[in-house]
Amino acid sequence: MTPNPIRKVLIVGGGTAGWMTAATLAKVLKGVEITLVESDAIATVGVGEATIPPITTFNQILGIDEADFMRSTQASFKLAIEFVDWTGPGSRYLHPFGGFGLDIEALKFHQIWLKARSEGSQQPIDDFNLSATAARMGKFMLPSKDPGQVLSSLKYAFHFDAGLYARYLRSYAEARGVVRREGRVVDVALRGEDGFIRSVTLDGGHEIEADLFIDCSGFRGLLIEQALDTGFEDWSHWLPNDRAVALPCQTGGDGLTPYTRATADTAGWRWRIPLQHRTGNGYVYSSRHISDEDALARLRATLDGPARAEPNVIRFKAGRRKQAWVKNCVAIGLSSGFLEPLESTSIHMVQTGITKLLALFPDRGFDPVEIAEYNRLTTLQTELIRDFIILHFKANDRPEPYWREARDMAIPESLQRKIELFAARGRLFQSDYDLFAEPSWLAVLLGQNIRPRGYDPLVDSLDEQLVRGQLQRLAALVRQTAQALPTHEAFIARYCAAPQFEKTA
């Protein structure tokens, strides 16, 4: 047996990060007392949230029934993100889940497609991705488990109401023994001998001790920063957006799309996340380039329907906590760093924080070895996500000062190298630590108008006639498969409709 096992865990902060952590620890750990402190007086940031496919693994680990969870969180399915106006007015592209086409021996499919395009083919690469094709048609169905079926290539995630999601996980966690304490943290006591956290005190005077503290308190980092002075690495010179205003509205416009939309605007970008009962909207912007009033006015002007709440302004700074794990405190969620939700990575970063914590679960000795590895992985993973997000801003074709500055900025060397390699002959190599696999980079590089000057010369070794035929058959197969699916709305209506599900069709 481990001689000094962790006996008590205290999670500071509810919200998505806090309750995801509480639920997972309650499920996985045995014989550990888990307490979560949150205050109803402190608003959580969570708005309409979009996720990425690994969330389904998270649900499986918890043993969550998908339809039940979707019904409880007003959720819809997500197959892609649609990027609108990023390379000029009217431009649009999809970043879908899943891969494109089929590789031929050692040749990547997209290289074959690049050659066809260089010879005048107009066929979009989306025609070779089922998630993208279904997204465009507004269709959805759960993927087939039979790898021989085209439908098995469908990859999906969810849109859901983050507040309801936290509530859902709270019941899950409380049912498994997590104790929730209502209150605001007013004091954090450190141990004199080593500076570890000993306890936190709530506004009622109640003091809670623990072996391991998890900081899910959001941007301010109540424990990791305010108590432990960890420091913050500022990335705002790459990602200048520092505010968001969120405003849900009644469903309208294109309705319940099975995809998120991210529309570039004068000084940032706007999200549109369709849920069953309403649509989540927000404008992420740089306060140097637009005033709060103008940003809100712009958001209001672009809503699909009447607003359904008061606007909520969120302030932040892009960057990461220098160490996500210090002493006996692990920061999970926004307390560990912030990247704007352009690629729906917030919840995923919570998930990987929890996964890493479990893989490196400490004992009361808090060996520096676990801490070093946790921080090394967090840094690598976060930097790769950062690069991917910077790419969207760097490679734009918009005229406004905000966008010109983004185009002219110096970018991390790791990203520069990737762009140059792709711009030459469409080549991509992936780090094992990168959340975003080749197809994701491909979709965004192409979508942001980085058009390779050439293609892999070895594609010339293939029989052109044969390849042309194969491409046509493949696109037809994808199209037919998508066409045969039910609409997203119809599928939700029969699979996981919440009582308030409004049909807009």
Partner 1 sequence: MRSGRPLPLGRVAIIGGGIDAWMTAAALARATGGRAAIRVVETGPEASGARSTLPALRSFHALLGLDEAALMTATRATYKLGSRFLNWTPGARHCEAFGEIGARLEGVEFHHYWARLRQAGDSAPLDVFNLAAVAADLGRFAPPSPDPRSPLSTLTYGLHLDAGLYAGVLRDLALSHGVEAQRGAVAQVIRDGVTGDIAAVALADGERVEAELYVDATGPAARLIGQALDEPFEDWSSLLPGDRAVRLTAPAPDVAAPLTDIEAVAEGWLWRIPLQGALDSGLVYRADLTDDAAALEALSRGLAEDGRSEPEFRTLTNGRRARARVGNCVAIGGAAGGIETLDATDLHLIQSGVTRLIALFPRPGDGPAAAQEYNRLGAAMIERMRDMAILHYRRSGRRDGAIWDLGRDAPTPEALAYKIAQFESRGRVVMYDEETFLEPSWVAAFIGHGVLPVRHDPLADRMPLDRMRATLERMQAIFRQTAEGLPSHEQALAQVGMTDA
Distance of CA 161 to the CA centre of its chain: 14
Asked about 139 being catalytic, the answer comes back as no
What are φ and ψ of residue 77, in 5° steps? -90, 150
Stretch that binds partner 1, among 75-83, 132-140, 362-370, 484-492 (CB under 8 A): 362-370
CB 14 within 8 A of CB 174: no
The reply to whether 362 sits near partner 1 by the rule CB under 8 A is: yes
The reply to whether 425 sits near partner 1 by the rule CB under 8 A is: yes
Residue 34 or 164: which CB sits closer to partner 1?
34
Stretch that binds partner 1, among 230-238, 258-266, 361-369, 387-395 (CB under 8 A): 361-369
Cα–Cα distance between 282 and 245 in angstroms, integer?
5
- DSSP codes, 237-261: TT----EEEE--B-S-TT-S-SEEE
Return the residues of window 105-124 that contact partner 1 according to CB under 8 A. 105-106
The reply to whether 411 sits near partner 1 by the rule CB under 8 A is: no
Distance of CA 186 to the CA centre of its chain: 31
Element (H, E) at 381: helix 368-394
Residue 14 CB, nearest distance to partner 1 (Å)?
Answer: 25
The reply to whether 204 sits near partner 1 by the rule CB under 8 A is: no
Residue 229 or 420: which CB sits closer to partner 1?
420
Helical residues (DSSP H) of 29-81, grouped into ranges? 55-62, 66-72
Residues 27, 30, 78, 145: which is the catalytic one? 78
- Measuring CA to CA, which residue among 174, 319, 163 is closest to residue 246? 163
Cα–Cα distance between 134 and 141 in angstroms, integer?
9
Cα–Cα distance between 140 and 488 in angstroms, integer?
5
Residue 374 CB, nearest distance to partner 1 (Å)?
Answer: 10
Among 358, 437, 466, 484, binds partner 1 (CB under 8 A): 358
Residue 2 or 480: which CB sits closer to partner 1?
2
Among 66, 182, 363, 405, binds partner 1 (CB under 8 A): 363
Cα–Cα distance between 346 and 16 in angstroms, integer?
10
Beta bridge partners, 196, equal: none
Stretch that binds partner 1, among 142-150, 224-232, 264-272, 416-424 (CB under 8 A): 416-424
The reply to whether 399 sits near partner 1 by the rule CB under 8 A is: no
Cα–Cα distance between 334 and 319 in angstroms, integer?
10
The reply to whether 412 sits near partner 1 by the rule CB under 8 A is: no
The reply to whether 424 sits near partner 1 by the rule CB under 8 A is: yes
Among 187, 367, 466, 477, binds partner 1 (CB under 8 A): 367
Residue 105 or 193: which CB sits closer to partner 1?
105
CB 86 within 8 A of CB 424: no
Residue 37 CB, nearest distance to partner 1 (Å)?
Answer: 24
The reply to whether 297 sits near partner 1 by the rule CB under 8 A is: no
3-class SS of residue 167? helix
CB-based contacts of 470, cutoff 8 Å, min separation 6: none
The reply to whether 1 sits near partner 1 by the rule CB under 8 A is: yes
The reply to whether 431 sits near partner 1 by the rule CB under 8 A is: yes
Among 189, 369, 476, 477, binds partner 1 (CB under 8 A): 369
Residue 432 CB, nearest distance to partner 1 (Å)?
Answer: 5
The reply to whether 175 sits near partner 1 by the rule CB under 8 A is: no
Residue 92 or 417: which CB sits closer to partner 1?
417
Residue 42 or 437: which CB sits closer to partner 1?
437
Distance of CA 45 to the CA centre of its chain: 15
Residues that contact partner 1, how many (by CB under 8 A): 38
Q: Which amino acid makes up residue 196?
A: F
Distance of CA 500 to the CA centre of its chain: 26
Distances (CA, A) of 78 to 26, 52, 221: 28, 8, 31
Can you read off the two tokens belonging to residue 420? Answer: 């140059």
Residue 46 or 353: which CB sits closer to partner 1?
353
Residue 479 CB, nearest distance to partner 1 (Å)?
Answer: 30
The reply to whether 29 sits near partner 1 by the rule CB under 8 A is: yes
Interstrand relation of 179-182 and 33-38 (parallel, antiparallel or unpaired): parallel
The reply to whether 28 sits near partner 1 by the rule CB under 8 A is: yes
Cα–Cα distance between 282 and 370 in angstroms, integer?
38
Residue 42 or 429: which CB sits closer to partner 1?
429
Residue 306 CB, nearest distance to partner 1 (Å)?
Answer: 47
Q: Is the dihedral of CA 392, 397, 403, 408 positive or negative?
A: positive
- DSSP codes, 339-377: --GGGS-HHHHHHHHHHHHHHT---TT--HHHHHHHHHH
Return the residues of window 468-487 that contact partner 1 according to CB under 8 A. none
Among 149, 461, 472, 483, binds partner 1 (CB under 8 A): 461
Among 420, 464, 469, 473, binds partner 1 (CB under 8 A): 420
Q: Hunting for tokens 């140059």 — which residue is that?
A: 420
CB-based contacts of 14, cutoff 8 Å, min separation 6: 36, 38, 44, 166, 170, 180, 216
Residues labelled catalytic: 78
Contacts with partner 1 by CB under 8 A lie at 1-2, 5-6, 28-30, 105-106, 358-363, 367, 369-370, 372-373, 417, 420-421, 423-425, 427, 429, 431-433, 454, 456-458, 460-462
